[in-house]
Structure 1
Amino acid sequence: MKLEEKELFLKKLDELFLKSIKSSMIHESTMHVENGSGDFMWSKGHGGRSIDSIMNLASVTKLFTTTCIINLIQQGKLSLNNKLSRFFDSNILEGIHIYKGKDYSYEITVGNLLFQNSGFPDVFALGRNNLNKRIVNEDLILSLYDYITIAKENKKKFAPGTPLKAHYSDLNFEMLGKIIEQLENTSLHEAFKKYVIKPLKLQNTYLIEKDSDFSAKMYYKHDALYRPNFWKSIPDCGGCISTSKEVMVFIKAFFNGQLFDESIFGQLRKFAMIQYCPLLGQYGGGFVRLNISGIASMYRCKGELIGHMGGSGTYAYYYPEKDLYFVGDVNQFAKQGDIFILPLKLAKLANKCIG
């Protein structure tokens, strides 16, 4: 990056951050940008937050779960083609996936879960008093059986493994987490330590396991919600706690081959559109792709953003076109659109400022 490009980029990042926190609903926020070589770093915080502040990662956690799954595949302990019947008994699988009168319950594979193409419904968004609404009013404690019950009682989206189909469902990753625990014969937190936390020497990244473990507040409009039991009960799909600084270390390691064989991405780069961001948003093997070069993108940048976002307002993306990494948090459960928009704006800035 040339000196004049760097100076312009820094100025525009400052301006973008100031605009992003103008909303009265953004009480706390962080934004953190680094390049792959490590010679460019910029960060800002708002509301007393910094890149060292603890935050709830929500679905960015799925990248940690994905890391464990990939390592188990590399070790030969797991295959994307393994049927779920290898890991779950009939109490869970019986009737879990009936679509157009045909029972697919025993045909679902590990790959269907990882690629979000099992056809399971979005277990958090179903019903008038759905889980997303209940989180606002109570510190929910959820179990795999709660997700299973919701899935069994509601319509499936398509047959498992239907080509070019994806439907985002947290049930997929809750089941992946239980598979990891079986194969590792330990808790998911210990698996995260083994495959992510210890190799990267992270000090402030963990899953909540006991009452004394700290979780950050999450805002819903102007109300600060404390939901430690909720985060504790969803470790596989959204319960990881970390900081922007450590998520940056992780996302760089995830995409540069530090945590598993980089060639594995050849198997994971098979994308299908997901429901929350049609045309622009796609899901692959455990991570999201935002196609920012397509006609559907008003930002018309080159390339793609790959990574994940979380419903509490977190995002962690790699922008290969400019070798930049974007990590941030708007910490607003009622303003989740920002977790799509801000990374796109960051990519657009990079295109304007960097040749």
Structure 2
Amino acid sequence: MNRLTVSKSIALTVGAICIVFAYNYNKSATYKISGPIYGTYWQLVSTEYISDPLKQSIEGELARIDLIASNYKESSELSKINAAPLGEEIDISSDMYSLLSYAEQLYQITDGLYDVTVGSLVIENGFGPANTANQNTIPVSKERFDLISNNRIIKNDNFQFDLSSIAKGYAVDSIAKLLINSNRNNFLIDIGGEIIVNGSKHGVPWVIGIQDPSSLQNQSIIEISRTGFLAVATSGEYRNTNINDAGEIISHTFNPINEESLLDKSYSVTVASEESSMRADAWATALNVLGPDRGIKLANSNSVSAMYLIEKDNIIMKSKYWNYSD
């Protein structure tokens, strides 16, 4: 064998090794993109390539929903509704209709303990944008609002909407639909802890960690393994707190009946949904307000997959529909 033949053989062998290495790498690789949004973060992990145009579409959709549901942007649809006069028909988008109609359904189911008219109450306690607060607003609405067909609303009280308990979930749903429509079927999308997984991670399940409510670290104590579509949302009072004028520690979630911050900060509640992240997001907040005993009963009567992690005695309470972890 002459030198030329040997050189060619070595080149072919090295080339084959490189091809095999590249194939194996791509077979196990994941593509990650992320950024800031809604005062928090978003991140996408996919086993399929995310092109620059697709990333731009994702960022565009996140920005579009921000201009619908943000109470921090004075130019958002939500801020304009909050500033609108009472008793007049206000044009709304189909997205806003979807958000408000589901929120009002949950208001009825929870006997008023899930309420998106608490915007002024949230702002007054230091958890919202004071610069967008309107004059002489009430903490919680009793007269509520009327949805007229699917594109108009009438406000019956001078309240302010706060959609922070449902809008991130809605955005996660929207990005998941965008990915699936783009033939990207294996991904994990996370917006500030509201998560959807779909498909698999190169043939193995995606793993979602549930935060320990007693820990200030990003430390999971329970993991959900899932192949296929699943939305997961967790609500709790263990991080987002303020000190009020009386020197008391208050949390970001309020009971709309007594208009007080939740006192019990010893638990978190996680909701899993095979329907949508919006549903999981809103239900997690609702069940957080209700607390474990009442929450489990309501979850059972409404086919909701819920799990409470209670710091005291390390108790775990699950609804009868929860089957996503050991």
TM-score by structure 1 length?
0.27
Higher relative contact order (CA 8 A, sep 6+): 1
Under a length normalisation based on structure 2, what TM-score does the superposition of the two structures give? 0.28
